[in-house]
């Protein structure tokens, strides 16, 4: 049985550990500290934690002010509110000033589940990618990668968006050390490449096992950093395999798939397919039901791989 953990637990625990050694770390939340797990930090370091209530715009612009005085600021809430509600503050107060603000958003994607569409941020990566410069975007695939991403964030200057989900996630084996902008290859293969981020990495691996049984060897890449992208790994995959399937728990417009498309088109055009949400809002349901309804399962990935291979 593979280990399943909450990425947000890993986040809260990492904050507490980092907070002990680094008095410059300040953590902010907007009335969701129990859910985002920043409450763990609040308990240990009450003087360096500020809850702003249901006021995300104020939280983000205040984060900028704190960072202007040398603080490393972690600001957390659900992805919908961090990114949607406060986009202008994130763009103008945080990113254009290139401040050390790390937005760690939880409850991203469809798998928020029963809360439904208003709470399912499925366009947050696109919104963060649209910011002209400075913003690093990381989508960890499990709790361990989350811990590493948080540790790395403290050592990396500038703004960062780290996207976490609500549900427990299976620990992915063999990832190696986390490095911003450097993807990790989880499985070798010469027939086709599957690139995924976040919870879709597990689905990609499942798909590759099934494909292998059918004689198709898929390369699986965990593209945890959406920006800056690991162009080298993408170009190599385009040169060495017959096509690339990109998988994300996000709309297909403007997310990881769009980012990879840009690299492939400019360097080595090849067949591409997307596994993602296509022109729809979310809805209530259990996480696994929604994944099936919106075409985000291992089976959907297998289908996409075969569609490409059928062209040859």
User: Which CB sits closer to other proteins, 60 or 201?
Assistant: 60
Considering only residues 135 to 164 of the shown chain, the ones binding other proteins according to CB under 8 A are none
CB 62, min distance to other proteins, A: 4
- CB of residue 151 to other proteins, shortest distance in Å: 22
Among 16, 31, 35, 97, binds other proteins (CB under 8 A): 97
Indicate the residue among 68 and 188 with the shorter CB distance to other proteins.
Answer: 68
Based on the shown chain and the rule CB under 8 A, indicate whether residue 103 belongs to the binding site for other proteins. no
Q: Which of 108, 153, 161 is nearest to 136 (CA)?
A: 161
SS3 letters across the chain: CCCEEEHHHHHHHHHHHHHHHCCCEEEEECCCHHHHCCHHHHHHCHHHEEECCCCHHHHHHHHHHHHHCCCEEEEEEEHHHHHHHCHHHHHHHHHCCCCCEEEEEECECHHHHHHCHHHCECCHHHHHHCCCCCCEEECCCCHHHHHHHHHHHHHCCCCEEEECCCCEEECCCCCCCCECCECEEEECCCCEEEEECCCHHHHHHHHHHHHHHCCCCEEEEECCEEECCCHHHHHHHHHHCCEEEEEEEEECCCCHHHHHHHHHHHHCCCEEEEEEECCCCCCCCCHHHHHHHCCCCHHHHHHHHHHHHCCC
Binding segment for other proteins among 92-100, 113-121, 159-167, 256-264 (CB under 8 A)? Answer: 92-100
Q: Which stretch binds other proteins (CB under 8 A): 90-98, 204-212, 239-247, 268-276?
A: 90-98
| Rounded distance between C-alpha atoms, residue 163 and residue 165, angstroms | 7
Binding-site member from 76, 77, 89, 297 for other proteins (CB under 8 A) = 89
* Beta-carbon contacts of residue 205 (< 8 Å; ≥ 6 apart): 172, 186, 187, 220
- Among residues 13, 58, 171, 284, the one that binds other proteins under rule CB under 8 A: 58
Nearer to other proteins, 6 or 87 (CB): 87
Q: Which stretch binds other proteins (CB under 8 A): 64-72, 103-111, 159-167, 178-186?
A: 64-72
Our CB check for other proteins shows the closer of 55 and 309 to be 55
Residues 292-311 that bind other proteins (CB under 8 A): none
- CA dist 301 and 98 (Å) reads 37
| Subset of 69-88 contacting other proteins (CB under 8 A) | 69-71, 88
- What minimum distance in Å lies between the beta carbon of 182 and other proteins? 30
Q: Which stretch binds other proteins (CB under 8 A): 11-19, 91-99, 114-122, 125-133?
A: 91-99
Smallest distance, other proteins to C-beta of residue 170, A: 38
Q: Which of 56, 123, 248, 249 is catalytic?
A: 56
123 flagged as catalytic:
no
Q: Scan residues 30-49 and list those touching other proteins (CB under 8 A).
A: 47-48
| # residues near other proteins by CB under 8 A | 29
Distances in whole angstroms, Cα of residue 9 to Cα of each of 132, 169, 276: 31, 11, 26
Of 66 and 194, CB closest to other proteins: 66
Which residues are designated catalytic?
A: 56
Q: Which residues bind other proteins (CB under 8 A)?
A: 26, 47-48, 50, 52-53, 55, 57-71, 88-89, 92-93, 96-98
């Amino acid at each position: 049985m593979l280990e399943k953990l909450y990425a947000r637990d890993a986040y809260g625990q990492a904050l507490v550990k980092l907070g002990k050694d680094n008095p410059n770390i300040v953590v902010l939340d907007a009335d969701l500290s129990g859910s985002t797990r920043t409450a763990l930090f609040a308990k240990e370091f009450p003087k360096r934690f500020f809850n702003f209530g249901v006021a995300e715009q104020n939280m983000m612009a205040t984060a900028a002010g704190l960072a202007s005085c040398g603080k490393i600021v972690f600001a957390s809430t659900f992805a919908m509110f961090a990114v949607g509600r406060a986009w202008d503050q994130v763009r103008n107060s945080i990113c254009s000033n290139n401040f050390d603000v790390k937005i760690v958003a939880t409850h991203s994607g469809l798998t928020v589940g029963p809360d439904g569409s208003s709470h399912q941020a499925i366009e947050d990566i696109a919104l963060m990618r649209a910011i002209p410069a400075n913003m690093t975007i990381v989508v960890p695939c499990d709790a361990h990668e989350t811990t590493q991403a948080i540790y790395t964030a403290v050592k990396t200057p500038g703004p960062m968006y780290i996207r976490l989900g609500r549900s427990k996630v299976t620990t992915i084996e063999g990832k190696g050390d986390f490095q911003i902008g450097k993807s990790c290859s989880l499985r070798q293969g010469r027939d086709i490449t599957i690139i995924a981020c976040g919870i879709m990495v597990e689905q990609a691996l499942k798909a590759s096992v099934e494909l292998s049984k059918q004689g198709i060897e898929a390369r699986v890449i965990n593209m945890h950093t959406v920006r800056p992208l690991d162009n080298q790994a993408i170009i190599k995959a385009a040169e060495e395999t017959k096509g690339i399937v990109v998988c994300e728990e996000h709309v297909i417009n403007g997310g990881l798939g769009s980012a990879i498309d840009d690299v492939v088109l400019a360097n080595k055009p090849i067949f591409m397919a997307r596994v993602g949400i296509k022109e729809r809002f979310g809805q209530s349901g259990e996480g696994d039901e929604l994944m099936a309804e919106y075409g985000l399962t291992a089976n959907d990935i297998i289908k996409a791989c075969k569609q490409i291979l059928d062209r040859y």
